[in-house]
Structure 1
Amino acid sequence: MQLQSLIFLLITFPFFSQAQTTGADQTGVYLPLLKGKKVGMVVNQTSVIGDRLSVDSLHALGVDIRMVFGPEHGFRGNASNGAEVGDEKDRATGIPIISLYGAKRQPTPQEMAALDVLIFDIQDVGCRFYTNINTLAEVMDACAKAGKELIIFDRPNPNAFVDGPILDMENRSGIGRFPIPITHGMTIGEFAQMLNGEGWLPNKTKCKIRVIKIKDYRHDMYYTLPVGPSPNLNTQESVILYPSLCLFEGTIVSQGRGTYMPFTVLGAPALKGKFDFSFKPVSIPGKSETPLHQDQTCYGLDLRKYDIKALHAKGKVNIRWIMDMYKAYPYKGKFFDRSQSQQIGNIDGLAGVKKFKQQIIAGTSEAEIRKSWEPGLSQYKQMRKKYVLYP
């Protein structure tokens, strides 16, 4: 099943020729930095050099990789959302794979003592509630405490725009740890600089980082991911729709978990008669074992043919969908009922502010909702300018 899941991700995301050259692809820049060093790598299935996993490529080039650390979904990207992942050995190289999404969230002092340098090479999707930035912070903290350098292979952000309310820290959780908007508009390398600069690491420590920058990249570029970033973001459409559709994780509306089209559809059984389109979530090992509305027919929206390039160009989270779904849902009191939806978080944690739920219930206009995100959003945009590496 693990190999099948990886093959599915690779087939679904064919290797497109990109105008940009990722940090990982610039081996000539960083290989001299790794010579004679004991190296650890924080990677997953998105960590590729060309069409090969970066661990395999660097191992073949003679880099002394002592440990591989895997984030949420595991090193091969085939663990379900939120599922704990255990330690193992990589069958291809024999290198120990240590989970950072099980009993611990960061490398131990003993593990760091066995390394000279750590590499972070994971594709992010630019959202506050996508946990890669949490893993980045944990790894930076471990490096700071151990006095070790973190080398970041930077990759383009497919949702590199800034939008949404700033997280109120009273809503801080595993799906929102930092006072940033829903889409932060930064690459992993840039976000690492913000973590250092704003003192967001524990005890305001600073990590020594070196960013291997993306060549020929701008934030406004439309970027097609070569590999699916997680089991339920398995198409380019799902990646671009994710900032808008993940808000539904705090509702009774399914986003298609338990189908092979997650984060491209929306629906619920109670919406029968309101919409013609339907789908039925089922248990899919490695993607969603117990999806919301399992084995029930859901009625709603099919967004698979939505103009995602136009959505990307607008640079905004689409909140009309959640506004319209709330209006259509017949049992208003259950719409935001987390106990009914059994999802990863409540709407306050996902939106970042309690006001958003209240505004949807009250029927507040989109313009007024967006106005309420100020002045925080503009202040964040100004702060962000200190850390950007690309135009």
Structure 2
Amino acid sequence: MKNFLVHSLLLAVLLTNSCGSSKINKTSNPAVPAAQENVSNQAIVPAADQLKAYLPLLKGKKVGLMGNQTSVVGPNNEHLVDVLLREKVDLKFGFAPEHGFRGDIERGEKVSNDVDAKTGLPLFTLYGGNAKQDSIVKSIDVMIFDLQDVGARFYTYITSLHRVMELCAKHNKELIVLDRPNPCGDQVDGPVRKDDKFKSNVSFHKIAMVHGLTVGELAKMINGEKWLENGKECKLTVVPVQNYTHSSIYKLPVIPSPSLPNHLSVRLYAALCLFEGTDISVGRGTDWPFQVVGYTNPVYGDFTFTPGEKAGMVKHVEGKGAVNYGLDLRNINPDEFKFTLKYVLYFYDKMPDKSKFFARPEFFDKLAGTDELRKQILAGKTEKEIRESWQPELAAYKQMRKKYLLYPDFE
């Protein structure tokens, strides 16, 4: 994994902001392309692997790339940058998102401009903004976006998508999204963000917490719903995944960030990330991030673990150096797991002094996209009662989502 990370020279930019509407590759009209309607058990082929579909779109053009260590091609996980340069694409720079272009920077930490050690390709960050971003984008003809999302609204790679779209729309540049499967695309769940009061990098779009979209489908939605600044549209081409449906089981070939090291952690992520608005540990600093949950009090359970320091998990490690007591989720079948509030409600119920549970209430609300969830938990609502309150907005979101699907749905 290290080899391709080193090649990853580019770009994971944390473009966390916006872009407009546009045309969608050869799949822009129907909700589900005809070629995708009768998908069999054939191997899933991400867009980046389909060189013949997008290399002709780059011929004779100056190209920028937004990517990171997940921007890989083929069974050997060759980095997209290496492939593009070998194919004589005039690649000018790479943008990088949160966690950096190698994917080894800790959550929330600064991502700096850099140069790829292997190729000399200039690398720029969009995470946290970049004063030169306009001149950088103006210097090229077309942008490529290739980041692996995990299907949760608070995963900031989709905020980066929005920011790239905003820049492309502003400077009339074409954006090519190389689509990848959503490893949690078999569900739509959680509260829908309605109020811009709760808009942030971790709740940028008015979508469900578990949104059920690929990045290509979300890009279509951003354009179609006029979410870009001043209602602009981005010249958009989406190269779709082959043989994928929203019922597909898909295990990521490369970890998307340091705290999501395997398929189980990716599937559990949406249900456990809300703990980041508390002091409860989700296993950062252990070998099982987002697979164990605990706190420094035996009241939470018999299972114990002691967080320390691991690569990409050093500065922001809850419960570091102390014995944490709680739940071991490592034996859960990831393919059967669906989003739930039961772990958050379990720890709230067990906490002796409930006034201390929401250690960072404002951040919890940003993650949730609303303050209603926190207030419902404080009021002692059950998961069933909380879920019932989501249904009107979820139903409306699902109807909107259908307009932008590129692949057969799970329901």
Distance 2:188 2:300 in 1: 33
Name the structure 2 match of 1:346.
Answer: 363
Tell me if the contact between 2:286 and 2:307 (Cα under 8 Å) persists in the aligned partners. yes
- The answer to whether residue 96 in structure 2 is matched with residue 79 in structure 1 is no
Match for residue 35 of structure 1 among 47, 55, 59: 59
Code of the aligned partner of 2:214: T
Count matched residues. 371
Name the structure 2 match of 1:306.
Answer: 332
Q: CA deviation at 1:60?
A: 1.2
Tell me if the contact between 1:5 and 1:286 (Cα under 8 Å) persists in the aligned partners. no
Distance 2:252 2:56 in 1: 28
- The answer to whether residue 205 in structure 2 is matched with residue 183 in structure 1 is no
- The answer to whether residue 230 in structure 2 is matched with residue 213 in structure 1 is no
1:279-313 Cα distance to aligned partner (Å, 9 max, x none): 111233532324112111110011111111111xx
Q: CA deviation at 1:4?
A: 9.0
Match for residue 154 of structure 1 among 174, 179, 198: 179
Q: Does the residue aligned with 1:373 lie in a helix, a strand or coil?
A: helix
Q: CA deviation at 1:177?
A: 1.4
Match for residue 348 of structure 2 among 326, 346, 350: 326
Larger RCO, structures 1/2 (Cα 8 Å, 6+ apart) = 2
Q: Which deviates further from its counterpart, 152-161 or 167-176?
A: 167-176
Q: CA deviation at 1:103?
A: 4.4
Q: Does the residue aligned with 2:47 lie in a helix, a strand or coil?
A: coil
Distance 2:219 2:153 in 1: 14
Q: CA deviation at 1:149?
A: 0.3
Match for residue 383 of structure 2 among 362, 366, 384: 366
Distance 1:329 1:27 in 2: 53
Name the structure 2 match of 1:14.
Answer: none
Tell me if the contact between 1:277 and 1:302 (Cα under 8 Å) persists in the aligned partners. yes
Q: CA deviation at 1:362?
A: 2.2
1:175-209 Cα distance to aligned partner (Å, 9 max, x none): 10111111111000000010011111111111011
Change (3 A) 1:279 1:4: farther
- The answer to whether residue 111 in structure 2 is matched with residue 94 in structure 1 is no
Name the structure 1 match of 2:50.
Answer: 26
Tell me if the contact between 2:299 and 2:350 (Cα under 8 Å) persists in the aligned partners. no
Distance 1:362 1:245 in 2: 21
TM-score, reference length from structure 1:
0.91
Q: CA deviation at 1:338?
A: 1.7
Distance 2:240 2:2 in 1: 31
- The answer to whether residue 157 in structure 2 is matched with residue 132 in structure 1 is yes
1:214-234 Cα distance to aligned partner (Å, 9 max, x none): 011101111100000001111
Q: Does the residue aligned with 1:375 lie in a helix, a strand or coil?
A: helix
Distance 2:4 2:93 in 1: 23
CA RMSD of aligned residues (A): 2.0
Q: CA deviation at 1:346?
A: 2.1
Distance 1:283 1:29 in 2: 43
Please list every run of 5 or more consecutive structure 2 residues that lacks an aligned counterpart in the other structure: 9-40
- The answer to whether residue 389 in structure 2 is matched with residue 377 in structure 1 is no
Change (3 A) 1:376 1:273: closer
1:314-368 Cα distance to aligned partner (Å, 9 max, x none): xx421111111111122211111128xxxxx622111122121122222212211
Name the structure 2 match of 1:235.
Answer: 262
1:130-166 Cα distance to aligned partner (Å, 9 max, x none): 0011100100010011111000100000111210111
Tell me if the contact between 2:294 and 2:327 (Cα under 8 Å) persists in the aligned partners. yes
Q: Does the residue aligned with 1:110 lie in a helix, a strand or coil?
A: helix
Distance 2:181 2:250 in 1: 7
Q: Which deviates further from its counterpart, 34-43 or 164-173?
A: 164-173
Q: Which deviates further from its counterpart, 273-282 or 156-165?
A: 273-282
TM-score, reference length from structure 2:
0.86
1:246-295 Cα distance to aligned partner (Å, 9 max, x none): 0111122111112221111100002x144111111123353232411211
Distance 1:132 1:18 in 2: 28
Name the structure 1 match of 2:22.
Answer: none
Distance 1:301 1:216 in 2: 37
Code of the aligned partner of 2:346: D
Tell me if the contact between 2:258 and 2:311 (Cα under 8 Å) persists in the aligned partners. no
Code of the aligned partner of 2:166: D
Distance 2:229 2:261 in 1: 33
Name the structure 1 match of 2:286.
Answer: 259
Change (3 A) 1:70 1:118: same
Match for residue 115 of structure 1 among 140, 164, 169: 140
Q: CA deviation at 1:3?
A: 4.9
Identity of aligned residues (%): 46
Q: Does the residue aligned with 2:395 lie in a helix, a strand or coil?
A: helix
Tell me if the contact between 1:140 and 1:150 (Cα under 8 Å) persists in the aligned partners. yes
Name the structure 2 match of 1:13.
Answer: none
Code of the aligned partner of 1:172: K
